Each structure stands twice: as C-alpha cells, then as structure tokens.
Amino acid sequence: MMRKYLLLLLLPITTLVKAQTVLEDQFQFNFLALNPAMTGARESFSLNGMFGNQFNGTLRPQQVYQLFSMDGPIQEGRGGLGLQAYNSNIAGFNNAGAKVSYAYRQKFGDVFTVALGADAGFIYQPTIVTGQGIKQMFPYAGLGGLFSTNQFFLSVSKPVLFINDGLFNSKKPLYTMLGFSLGEMENVMLNMSGTLETNKGASANFFITAKAWFKQKAGFGIIYRSEAPFGTKINKIVPMVEFQLGESFRLGGSYDFKPMAYPNSSSQGAFQQRGIFQLYLRYDFIRDGDSNNRMKYY
C-alpha cells in the first residue's frame, strides 16, 4: 500500500521524462555532458568520477548519484571518443543511463580548432503509468559543435536531439556556452564560462562558472545557477574546489546547499532535499607530447 502511495506522489515528476538527466545537470566538472563535440578536447585520455552525497541526519552520508565519464583523443588528435554513464536515486526516484560520443576536429594552424560531435545513448527509468513502476528504456541521440582557441571557446549543442519517448514529453534543450581564460597558467589563471539552456515551451536557464587556478595546483570557484526546473525560478550559488595531486590525479568537490525541490502532488508544496556534496575524482593518462591546454582547467 505504501508503495502505491509513493508512486502516486511521484506521478507529476515521472510523467515528464527528463531527457536532461543528472549527468547534464551536474556539468560543472564535466562539460562533455552538454556537448559531444568536447570529446577529446582536453587532448589527453582521462577518467572522471563524480559522487553525490547527501547527509540525512546520520554520520554516514547517503550516496544519491554516481557519474562516470571517460574520453580522449584518437586518430592522432583529429578525433575523440568518449563514454558516460550515471545512476541516480535523488529523492528516491531511481533512473540510470549511458551514452557514447565521437568528435571530429580540424585544427587551423595554431590559431583555432573546429569540432563536430555526435552522441547516442539511453535513459532507463520508471514510467509509473499503470502504478506498477515499470522501467522502460528511452534511446536518444544528439549533436554538437565547438569553436575554440587557446583562450576562448564557443559551444552549441543539443545532446538530446532525437529520443524514442513514446507518449511522453521529453525535455530536449539547446545549450549555448561561451568560455574564456585569462592570466598565466604557471601563475594565476582565471577561467569563466556562461551557459544558456533554452527549450521550447519552457523558461530559459542560465549558468555562470568562474574558477581561479593558482600555479595549476589549486582551483577555487563558484557556479551561479538561475533555473526553473518545475516552473519556479531558483537562483543559487554552488561553491567548488579542485586540487591537482601530482601530474595525473585531481581531487575536487562542490556543495549544493539547496538542490532542486520536487513537487510531490498537485495540492501540496514541494519536497525540499537536503544539501548535496559532490566528490570529484579525475585521472589523466599523461604521455610525452600531450599538451597542457586550458580546457583542462574550466
């Protein structure tokens, strides 16, 4: 009986299949989630893990999501290949997914680079149409483009361009991102980016990321988020920090004091979650000749 009531409470959420998953939502450490054209853009092969932890009144935090990504250059740097996967149990609503991406890039001397990318994957989550909580798989595909120089980039992408969603109304946002890098990498470097998320029939969301790096060893930053996930505009700041431990290993974290509030019924107020701490781990496979470009520090 309790399961039936829980499914009814979650019905307003799940009747809208969010093609924008936790993978895209938590992009501050992983721009690849928004644009397949960024596959291999850091010019070294890397493994990334992101783990969302929520403290719910106990000493041991509850892990509410796990994100994994890996990507790197292929074809002597002319292409990039990547894989991303996630599992989320935020607010007791479990879904998972994975996608692969490929990018082809053309360098124009040392002046600029143009890349085109494509991704394909699936979302696996409950439909909750019949009250049974039956899970279904929703395949999708997307495209993206990237123009970059040593200290600037412009990214336009639709990571979910097509999705096999049956009777559901899926969210298929367009992301436009601008980024620039100032200062000296060996001393103090400031990296900033702005992201505009637009979707037909929904309010636009806007994000600003700023991060200051000191001698490529420690980075301190924030992400400002202005978004309306369920119609109500929310503005917040999420602090983040990263430390480069040796040549290959990076440790980071961010803390979202006010995660999105989920509506739990048409007549009741929203369910507000506790804060979520995200642990970030990255390992770069450094080879002789790999460039240390600024894309690694956004």
Q: Supply the range of the domain harboring residue 97.
A: 2-297
Query: What pLDDT score was predicted for residue 232?
Result: 79
Q: How many CB atoms lie within 10 A of CB 55?
A: 13
Task: Give kind and range of the element (H or E) at residue 24.
Answer: helix 22-25
Which position has the token pair 């480069």?
244
The pTM assigned to this predicted structure is 0.86
Distinct helix (H) and strand (E) counts, the chain: 2, 16
Question: For the chain, what is the largest distance between any 2 Cα atoms, rounded to a whole number of angstroms?
Answer: 66
**What's the DSSP call for residue 2?**
H
pLDDT in the model for residue 241? 98
> Is residue 112 classed as helix, strand or coil in its secondary structure?
strand
Contact 267, 189 (CB under 8 A): no
- C-alpha–C-alpha distance, residues 153 and 115, integer Å: 11
Q: Which two tokens stand for residue 141?
A: 């595909």
C-alpha 40/C-alpha 119 separation (Å) is: 13
Residues 6+ apart with CB under 8 A from 182: 151, 189, 190, 191, 192
End-to-end Cα spacing for the chain? 48
Pairing of strands 205-214, 218-227: antiparallel
Give the model's pLDDT for residue 269: 52
Closest by Cα among 297, 190, 180 to 250: 297
Q: What is the pLDDT of residue 21?
A: 75
Question: What gap in Å lies between CA 71 and CA 296, rounded to an integer?
Answer: 12
Calpha distance 135→139 (Å, rounded): 13
The length of the chain, given as a count of residues: 298
**Rounded to an integer, what distance in angstroms lies between the CA atom of residue 143 and that of residue 102?**
10
State the DSSP H helix or E strand holding residue 9, giving kind and residue range, or none if neither.
Answer: helix 2-14
Instruction: Kindly give the pairing relationship between strand 45-54 and strand 62-74.
Output: antiparallel
Q: Average pLDDT across each block of 10 residues of the chain; the chain has 298 residues. List them in order.
A: 41 46 88 97 94 80 91 94 92 84 94 97 71 73 97 96 66 93 96 95 92 97 90 90 95 90 54 82 82 86
Q: Domain of 152: which CATH number?
A: 2.40.160.40
pLDDT for residue 295: 93
Domain count for the chain: 1
